[in-house]
């Protein structure tokens, strides 16, 4: 029998209770994993055990795929009209709204992000995404195509079938919503693996998914390790599509697994090292506020974090002074504290990884301008950190740190900064600050990135596609574009009066 997680939140910002089974969710039931083992869920604020959850295995993925395929062939897929899928997605969105604070509190407990940010961004955006895709569910349409007299040709956008989804720990609920929204709107069945560092909201969602009325087997949630459950999903011969968000390293492994097995369709949303360019004609106070948000929000654990901050020489000193003051003003501490901006990093591993990047910056000769050390004596807190005097080939300039660490780089020439900004294997996002809209747009168009923000940063909307150029990914999530990830186009040729020799 899977354990029931019971927790009472008694914090300055939220008081409430939660209670739910922590089993794997397979075919509409909460069950133990096939080996009967569990995974420890750790609170990053103090390193203490929060609860244990059932650990999934390859055998559990196999069971879930059989159940999902049966559901797809009988009561889901093309057997359920879009209007019904829309109704179910709307039910789910409404239930998430009814459990709004509970979901935000679970995310803050598990991931370490602040309760306020979890409310304002993670839960709000997740509900908006589910409802946005509810709107699409009865609008999945093909085309009729003129070819030759005597023939009718039309296309159908059919669901792919059983799809695998592997999500990371930095935005657990949001990444789940970005993935299940378009997959369910188009009629697919899902095998989803949350990160074992942050499984709680996905497990809680399994209960809301059942309550919303989705038939058993439509959504299956199997927490487990990447090397077991993640690998089983990406290698599975009867999973025809896999969508992944995480590191470029693991994205490569998933593509290899897909190539080696059944050539499943792969979409990847991977890392970034996004440039943020501040020109001499920018509104500096506005640029400082967005730059701080760009690198320190979510503790820098955002794939689109504006981590390379290029500042025009004419405003460099003013910008750096104001940016430093802003970074110093950000309160680091308890995610449930009244005015906390930044909580702990997600795990000991991530804490160590970030600290090793900070060491490498020092060793390679950059100036540690601010921070660079642990905050407090327990948990995984790192102070907002700024490096200056970097060189383009330093690791802290080239590699994704995924922590509250920004490098501030002086530039003088527009063409030169565009070259520097594009000198990376990544291409997820970029930002430009200038009051001269011609200059800003010209630069935005020259940056090799899937998203370009002008006079803002980290703006995401369910309606707007998101994804990467170069090694930041393949395919687009969100918006109408994401529907393509979950449909296969069939062309149907109907003959009226053609004959063949
Ligand atoms: P990973 O890319 O390793 O993890 C992301 C997800 O993939 C997790 O669910 C993980 O499971 C799973 N996974 C791991 N190995 C495999 C595999 N062989 N097959 C299938 N799935 C697998 O990220 P990390 O947590 O290790 O973080 C490392 C770095 O990745 C970060 O520092 C950051 O730079 C980047 N990252 C980028 C993200 C983004 O949004 N683009 C999100 C998270 C990380 P498990 O947790 O068990 O390993």
Distance 370 CA to ligand 1 centre (A): 28
Catalytic one among 107, 158, 269, 400?
A: 269
Pocket perturbation via mutation, ligand 1, pick of 39, 61, 168, 474 by most ligand atoms within 8 A of CB: 168
Q: What is the pLDDT of residue 472?
A: 97
CB-based contact 233:226 (threshold 8 Å): no
DSSP 23-44: SEEETTEEE--TT--EEEEEET
Give the residues surrounding ligand 1 with Cβ less than 6 Å away: 166, 168-170, 193, 195-197, 225-227, 230-231, 234, 245-247, 250, 253-254, 269-271, 303, 353, 400, 402
Q: How many residues does the chain have?
A: 501
Check pLDDT > 90 for residue 477: yes
pLDDT tens digits for range 188-214: 999 999 999 999 999 999 999 999 999
Domains of the chain in start order, with CATH, are: 4-270+474-489 (3.40.605.10), 275-461 (3.40.309.10)
Distance 270 CA to ligand 1 centre (A): 9
Unique residue bearing structure tokens 């994804």: 467
CA neighbor of 407 nearest in space, from 375, 368, 373, 381: 368
The helix or strand, by DSSP H or E, that contains position 230, with its residue range, turns out to be none
Residue identifier of the C-alpha nearest atom 38 of ligand 1: 246
Check pLDDT > 90 for residue 88: yes
Check pLDDT > 90 for residue 174: yes
Question: Cα dist. 329→324, 339, 342, 354, 386 in Å?
Answer: 9, 11, 11, 21, 14
Distance CA 121, CA 126 (A): 8
The helix or strand, by DSSP H or E, that contains position 202, with its residue range, turns out to be helix 200-212
Residue identifier of the C-alpha nearest atom 6 of ligand 1: 168
Q: What is the pLDDT of residue 498?
A: 85
Instruction: Read off the pLDDT band of 499 (50, 70, 90).
Output: confident
Distance 346 CA to ligand 1 centre (A): 12
The residues pairing with 245 across neighbouring beta strands, listed in sequence order, are 269
Tell me if the pTM is above 0.85: yes
Q: What is the pLDDT of residue 109?
A: 98
Where are the extended beta strands (E) located within 202-260? 219-221, 241-245
**Contacts for 264-267: CB closer than 8 Å, 24+ residues apart:** 264/164, 264/234, 264/236, 264/239, 264/240, 265/160, 265/240, 265/241, 265/485, 266/241, 266/242, 266/474, 266/475, 267/241, 267/242, 267/243, 267/467, 267/473, 267/474, 267/475, 267/477, 267/485
| Percentage of the chain exceeding pLDDT 90 | 99
Q: What is the pLDDT of residue 375?
A: 98
Check pLDDT > 90 for residue 45: yes
Mark whether 269 is an active-site residue: yes
Q: Mean of the pLDDT values across residues 289-312?
A: 98
pLDDT tens digits for range 228-270: 999 999 999 999 999 999 999 999 999 999 999 999 999 999 9
SS (HEC) of 79-142: HCCHHHHHHHHHHHHHHHHHCHHHHHHHHHHHHCCCHHHHHHHHHHHHHHHHHHHHHHCCCCCC
Q: What is the pLDDT of residue 501?
A: 87
Check pLDDT > 90 for residue 497: no
Distance 284 CA to ligand 1 centre (A): 35
Q: What is the pLDDT of residue 500?
A: 86
């Amino acid at each position: 029998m899977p354990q029931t997680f019971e927790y009472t939140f008694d914090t300055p910002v939220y008081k409430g209770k939660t209670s739910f089974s922590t089993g794997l969710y397979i075919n509409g039931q909460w069950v133990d994993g096939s080996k009967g083992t569990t995974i420890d869920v750790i609170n990053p604020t103090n390193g203490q055990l929060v609860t244990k959850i059932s650990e999934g295995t390859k055998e559990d993925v196999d069971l879930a795929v059989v159940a999902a395929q049966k559901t797809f062939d009988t009561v889901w897929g093309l057997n359920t009209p879009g209007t019904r899928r829309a109704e179910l997605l709307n039910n789910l969105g409404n239930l998430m709204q009814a459990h709004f604070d509970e979901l935000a509190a679970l995310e803050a407990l598990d991931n370490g992000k602040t309760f306020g940010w979890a409310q304002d961004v993670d839960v709000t955006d997740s509900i908006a995404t589910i409802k946005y895709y509810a709107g699409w569910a009865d609008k999945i349409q093909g085309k009729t195509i003129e070819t030759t007299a005597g023939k009718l040709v039309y296309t159908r956008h059919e669901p792919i079938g059983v799809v695998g989804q592997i999500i990371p720990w930095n935005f657990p609920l949001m990444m789940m919503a970005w993935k299940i929204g378009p997959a369910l709107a188009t009629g697919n069945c899902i095998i989803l693996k949350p990160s074992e560092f942050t499984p709680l909201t996905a497990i809680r969602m399994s209960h809301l998914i059942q309550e919303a009325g989705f038939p058993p087997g439509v959504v299956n949630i199997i927490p487990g390790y990447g090397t077991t459950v993640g690998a089983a999903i990406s290698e599975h011969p009867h999973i025809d599509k896999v969508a992944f968000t995480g590191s470029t390293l693991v994205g490569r492994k998933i593509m290899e697994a897909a190539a080696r097995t059944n050539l499943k369709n792969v979409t990847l949303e991977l890392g970034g090292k996004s440039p943020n360019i501040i020109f001499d004609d920018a509104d500096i106070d506005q640029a400082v506020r967005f730059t701080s948000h760009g690198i320190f929000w979510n503790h820098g654990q955002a794939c689109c974090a504006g981590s390379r901050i290029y500042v025009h020489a004419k405003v460099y000193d003013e910008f750096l002074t104001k940016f430093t003051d802003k970074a110093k003003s950000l309160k680091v501490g308890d995610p449930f504290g009244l005015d906390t901006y930044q909580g702990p990093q997600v795990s000991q591993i991530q804490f160590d990884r970030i600290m090793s990047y900070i060491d490498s910056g020092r060793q390679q000769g950059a100036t540690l301008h601010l921070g660079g050390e642990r905050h407090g004596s327990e948990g995984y807190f790192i102070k907002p950190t700024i490096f200056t005097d970097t060189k383009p080939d330093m690791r802290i300039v080239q590699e994704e740190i995924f922590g509250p660490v920004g490098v501030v780089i002086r530039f003088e020439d527009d063409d030169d900064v565009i070259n520097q900004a594009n000198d990376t294997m990544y291409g997820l996002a970029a930002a430009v600050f200038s009051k001269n809209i011609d200059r800003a747009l010209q630069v935005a168009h020259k940056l090799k990135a899937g998203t370009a923000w002008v006079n803002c940063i980290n703006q995401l909307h369910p309606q707007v596609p998101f994804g990467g150029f170069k090694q930041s990914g393949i395919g687009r999530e969100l918006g109408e574009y994401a529907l393509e990830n979950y449909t296969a186009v069939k062309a149907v040729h109907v003959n009226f009066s053609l004959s063949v020799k």
